[in-house]
Structure 1
């Protein structure tokens, strides 16, 4: 497969694929980094070590990592092209990341957050944009009919909107920054306003846009001085409605395979994983404990490769099942604190992704042990396996099997 060297969105890229595959199959057993350096550039080594290895042989797949489905589509190409534009995005500068964090974590209703995203992305259908695309005959703003309708003019600059802005409790903020473009105006608002006022500002801007739409399409408007009060009421009604929604309760859900601590066997198997991003390695911890909590056996497995945490968790479960089956241990439950994996195993909703590839392998292994299942436990109940997994990050690259108490390590 040939690909542009500047793109790293596929998990294996470029002409190194064939050689890397031969070496990468043996990575968990393990290939010294020096051997990799003798064949690849350092940038290629980083990419190789980030490829998740399932541990079982299967055909190679090309996976687009920016989509949860793993597939490259027209939509994928659109988002890739959009990401190169000079607008704030979740993957651009520190300022932009701060911008989007403020927007998406505000208290405003979701549709208003989406509206603010469209404002900043310059994708709301203002007259100047529609005129440039030959959709309408005039670029002038429908309210004043004096100036072209841009995002700034429609929300900040039009003289017809000044009465609405004057009714704001933070009108001084508007007068101070109204000359800025909409993005800089919002950035200044993030610094000057608290979380509630910022959300009210978002609701107010959305109300101004609704005022414009109602005037064009229905020929009706709200008095300018009432728009701010309407925005405040709308915001607090939304907060009240959110408080009346019943909180999510795990106890109210079907028990499925979420653990309640009971098992048909007196032995309990706990699993966890740990990663070292800087050291480009990860580790699995598997602990077998009796009812009293005394450790009967365990495995610490350090591995080379800087993989995502959830993939490390899935690989830990995969190797734990292999280990239990190899030793014919008398148990029917494996416990992990990664509920996402347990839910995906129960749903069997697979995509083309490295995680789902490992989960399919887990399901295949479970088919050989019909009574064996994977259950969720809370992190507090899985501290020993977590400690063992972190212990593995400090070991040499080999496997340590232990019996009895792990404290002697």
Structure 2
């Protein structure tokens, strides 16, 4: 089966994860794809494929060589982002893309414009998989699943090609930050691994944000506005004041590359009580800690102004920059770079302006940088992936295995 055919099959499954759910998986529908993948892996000859009680899928391609080779892991996640509808995806292929704007949905006037997405022009002549503009596509990360299993199928169908032991895993709930929570690192048994969960073809990532969440609760006092003077304490206005005390230049729309940010994700409330939910991100641990400290100091200032207990800040770390865990094992990065060069793609080392299962797994004892899938515009209606990029990723994965076997 061709890699894009495999991918188009997977996107038919609705696997959205659900934020703020304590159980794993956060949605039972992820198990449906998980069980399907187990059966597909078994049909490919991966006899030990199974899904555990938490919806983690594991399997092994046993080595067929006497050479002393490392055990390599390849990992992708099954869930899709809750930021955009992930059901009833109407995917289609634009063959031999001509470089013009792409009308995704004429009825709803949804067009993907090259003026906004200049990288489209890099794929003139390619075949692009897009949606109808009402859902995300799901290349994040079903493309990674398709690419890993297409690589596995190649080795199964070509037993004369030597390879070491290859471990495969597909995880739930990456998009809601708990994809590595129940991952069985010891049982997985890899010496190191790659998540295949990145973007544009050629990108390799081993630096990611340090990440935290901040839940800010504002406690106000509601009095009839006719008699409110010197008595009412409007929590909505205090919440706005809290936000306005944070640096404007540290918002997501003002940052790039290694610049961190504090992002107000949502806000709700009334005069009596208001909730503000933030995410805090920075590659530098020192700056990361400073951003968190600013939240606490801002709360202290407002409490001194409006009374103790008016502003309550709850900080929770989510994950950390994997760089320090990868640096002692840079052969993983150098091999991936060489694999890309060998298939005619210029590698590009880029920092992740986000997180990945690999960051958590690296701190759990499994060094795990991130590789490209070839997709663009994740988490939104303009998501797309070139068929030819997916095919190149499969070649890259095969080449990584070959290099470690050599």
Q: Same fold (TM over 0.5)?
A: no
What TM-score comes out, normalization by structure 1 length? Answer: 0.25
* Higher share in helix: 1
Structure with bigger gyration radius? 1
Normalising by structure 2, we get a TM-score of 0.25
